[in-house]
């Protein structure tokens, strides 16, 4: 029986060329799987047909936009996931979902090999292959760009030789990955980290320096889930889509950073994530209002570790699953409303309210109505500082040893 290769298919040059190339190298039939995670651009049916025209025996398109929003972006909101305190995990969140559908296609079509278009320098090879190892360790993996030293020049020559129905004449100077959660741009002149980004790089956001009126938005959360915008009920997908539009129109969510890749090198990336930045900003502030101090302090460490695990391709790991359970429990009281002003590239919190609020006006005020018993503070301060006081006295007695 002829083997079958399930290929993660984007519709671009590299994965289109991979279809006949994999068939030649392995003798297997190729199944192309394209997963719609809100990347926009071409019609997915056009992409499906292109895969067939390039020689795939089957071509499947999965509309996973709602699944991506609810099952992957939403957990990132609740975990305030920002790698290196800045990056909203644009590419990292989509890879485990694509892996899940690749495995499903392998079972459906009898695939024994899976393939992706990642190089050996990036993070995505890890995300794909570690995920595949967790969900379907019996599947063999081939990465043509990495395993066969497949360069773009070779890909273009191969496409022309085979007469593949793809445009190889126009070459973007950038490598771009985008989805509902954001957009990542790298390579080209950006590889010189002294070069400033130019406006042509951006697609999800307008120039924040352009004069315009501010946009005020109220986001309602229920147990950490955004459920309404300005009083209108929304799904997670609709919430992200709407805030991509409104925050993007104000230039919110632009990032230019040098980050630490998992493979050990530093990489310069330019990101746009307007909806992600707005939602995480609002969610963090609501947590400040509704989560008790020690739980909040501990959760900040959990959030950081959660983001690192996802960035590092460990979505299906036991630790990630355990942290998911912690985050789920910590969200029980994260319900209420946050008001943001979107303007000049920033999402600024200007108001917050919640039935589950731990903010007590009587305790906080310095004016009439103060209910805080200040007479308790003197003894508290003395006991709180007692260990440090005793250690300092010991050090003085021993001559600072």
Q: How far apart are CA 78 and CA 75, in angstroms?
A: 5
Give the closest residue to 176 by CA, choosing from 36, 37, 308, 272.
272
Please name the residues in contact with 249: beta carbons below 8 A apart, sequence gap of 6 or more. 206, 212, 215, 342
Q: How many CB atoms lie within 10 A of CB 7?
A: 28
Establish whether 222 is an annotated binding residue: no
pLDDT of residue 199: 95
Could you tell me whether strands 58-63 and 29-36 are parallel, antiparallel, or unpaired per DSSP bridges? parallel
Assess whether pLDDT exceeds 60 at residue 156. yes
Q: How far apart are CA 299 and CA 293, in angstroms?
A: 10
Please name the residues in contact with 392: beta carbons below 8 A apart, sequence gap of 6 or more. none
Q: How far apart are CA 315 and CA 88, in angstroms?
A: 15
Establish whether 147 is an annotated binding residue: no
pLDDT of residue 151: 72
Q: pLDDT tens digits, residue range 186-200?
A: 888 999 999 999 999
Establish whether 15 is an annotated binding residue: yes
Q: pLDDT tens digits, residue range 280-298?
A: 999 999 999 999 999 999 9
Establish whether 127 is an annotated binding residue: yes
Assess whether pLDDT exceeds 80 at residue 112. yes
Active site residues: 14, 95, 124, 175
Q: pLDDT tens digits, residue range 225-263?
A: 999 999 999 999 999 999 999 999 999 999 999 999 999
Burial (CB count within 10 angstroms: exposed 0-12, middle 13-18, buried 19+), residue 392: exposed
Which domains, from first to last, does the chain contain? 4-171 (3.40.50.620), 176-291+333-353 (3.90.1260.10)
Question: Band of the pLDDT at 394, cuts 50, 70, 90?
Answer: very high
């Amino acid at each position: 029986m002829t083997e079958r290769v399930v290929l993660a298919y984007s519709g671009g040059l590299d994965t289109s060329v991979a279809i006949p190339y994999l068939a030649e190298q392995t003798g297997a039939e190729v199944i192309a799987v394209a997963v719609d995670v809100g990347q926009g651009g071409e019609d997915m049916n056009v992409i499906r047909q292109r895969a067939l025209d390039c020689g795939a025996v089957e071509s499947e398109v999965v509309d996973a936009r709602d699944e991506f929003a609810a099952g992957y972006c939403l957990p990132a909101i609740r975990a305030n996931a920002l790698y290196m305190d800045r990056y909203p995990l644009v590419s990292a969140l989509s890879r485990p979902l694509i892996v899940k559908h690749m495995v499903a296609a392998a079972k459906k079509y009898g695939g024994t090999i899976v393939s992706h278009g990642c190089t050996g320098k990036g993070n995505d090879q890890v995300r794909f292959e570690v995920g595949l190892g967790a969900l379907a360790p019996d599947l063999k993996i081939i990465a043509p760009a990495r395993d066969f030293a497949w360069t773009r020049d070779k890909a273009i020559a191969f496409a022309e030789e085979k007469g593949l129905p793809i445009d190889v004449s126009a070459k973007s100077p950038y490598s771009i990955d985008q989805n509902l959660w954001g957009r990542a741009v790298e390579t080209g002149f950006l590889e010189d980290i002294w070069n400033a980004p130019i406006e042509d790089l951006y697609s999800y956001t307008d120039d924040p320096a352009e004069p315009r009126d501010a946009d005020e938005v109220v986001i309602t959360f229920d147990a950490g889930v955004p459920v309404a915008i300005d009083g209108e009920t929304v799904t997670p997908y609709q919430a992200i889509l709407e805030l991509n539009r409104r925050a993007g129109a104000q230039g919110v969510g632009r990032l230019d950073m040098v980050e630490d890749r998992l493979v050990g090198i530093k990489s310069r990336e330019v990101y746009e994530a307007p909806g992600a930045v707005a939602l995480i900003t609002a969610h963090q502030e609501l947590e400040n209002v509704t989560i008790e101090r020690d739980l909040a302090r501990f959760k900040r460490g959990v959030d950081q570790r959660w983001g690192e695990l996802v960035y590092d391709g460990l979505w299906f790991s036991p630790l990630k699953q355990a942290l998911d359970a912690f985050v789920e429990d910590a969200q029980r009281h994260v319900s209420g409303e946050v008001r943001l002003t979107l303007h000049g590239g920033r999402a600024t919190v200007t108001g917050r309210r919640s039935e589950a609020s731990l903010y007590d006006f009587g305790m906080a005020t310095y004016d009439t109505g103060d209910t805080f018993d200040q007479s308790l503070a003197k003894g508290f301060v003395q006991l709180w500082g007692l260990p440090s006081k005793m250690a300092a006295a010991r050090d003085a007695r021993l001559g600072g040893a």
